[in-house]
Structure 1
């Protein structure tokens, strides 16, 4: 049961380093200089986005056979591992909050939209399909987002400039590759290819 919380927390925290939503957190922190409403917006947006993603993952695990689910998971984890190695860049006008909604609402809207189709959302779908405790997966992926983004909001540019982003991206990719290998092994086992 604890694995359903800890693995998603670690995976998303690593995958989020250098991600566009982390860059968005930095931009919002610099623009508004009000960390607590920004952090609250990140929490609400992430919970909503990852709950929807986890629901899709739970649906996948219910309606797909074990064989198909394991093969999809292995392919998805491999693709996410490769995707993690590519640094995210933010468009100049993305997430700048040009309309004045205040720090909380701007963060809520920007983070929710930025997370759609992002690698951490895809990871949430895969993790929810793999682990049986849906609520723990949602809490874990949300904690992972907070572990990566709250220090950026609080410390501003200092934290982002000092982190070894390439090393962290490689570690996240390795973690996804390990999950891909485990899923591949499970797929071959469920398919009867290995005993």
Structure 2
């Protein structure tokens, strides 16, 4: 249950102000059809984070527990730093797949925007850290939806009222705590 709760909370916080949340604002303004946009976000996130969760589970099978602990600890600390750097959306990402309809355009652009994004990397790290990558993928997907669905419905009005630096600071602190706890041996009973 911890894997689900932590992954949901961390990704929901990390996603606020992230380029995929900005992409949700842009798609909502462009298409004005929230349900296919939300369905596209969900489908792209499940596929992207499912692959990331599988990679995280695979990493645990090839690295020794000692090496894995240091890699995960460093990864979480790196995520803490990365979370403090604001994302900017690239215009090209909003033009991809314009002939695929609202769902298709959302699916393709979200999937591509998440490739190598901090939430995908966090999913890999948390899937490697926790013994249940399925709960991590469910949690990171829920976190993504918690941050992006309101963006689809309320757009820029909400973004202007959210203290982005505070939210990013909280997410960074959680990643840093996970990194330090991992480096100090938390999870040793799980074999890391």
Task: Please report the TM-score for the alignment, with normalisation by the length of structure 2.
Answer: 0.94
Counterpart for residue 94 of structure 1: 93
For the pair 1:77 / 2:87, whether they are aligned, the reply is no
> Displacement, 1:98?
6.5
Counterpart for residue 193 of structure 1: none
Query: Secondary structure of the residue that 1:100 maps to in structure 2?
Result: coil
> Displacement, 1:97?
4.6
Output one character per residue of 1:7-60: Cα deviation in whole Å (capped at 9) or x when no partner: 100011011011000000000000000001000000000000000001110011
Counterpart for residue 34 of structure 2: 35
Q: 1:3 and 1:106 mapped to 2: Cα distance? A: 34
Counterpart for residue 175 of structure 1: 174
- How many residue pairs align between the two structures? 188
> Displacement, 1:99?
2.1
Q: Which moved more, 1:96-105 or 1:29-38?
A: 96-105
Runs (4 or more) in structure 1 with deviation over 4 Å come to none
**Runs of 5+ in structure 2 lacking a partner?**
none
**Runs of 5+ in structure 1 lacking a partner?**
191-195
Counterpart for residue 13 of structure 2: 14
Task: Please report the TM-score for the alignment, with normalisation by the length of structure 1.
Answer: 0.93
RMSD: 1.4
For the pair 1:123 / 2:153, whether they are aligned, the reply is no
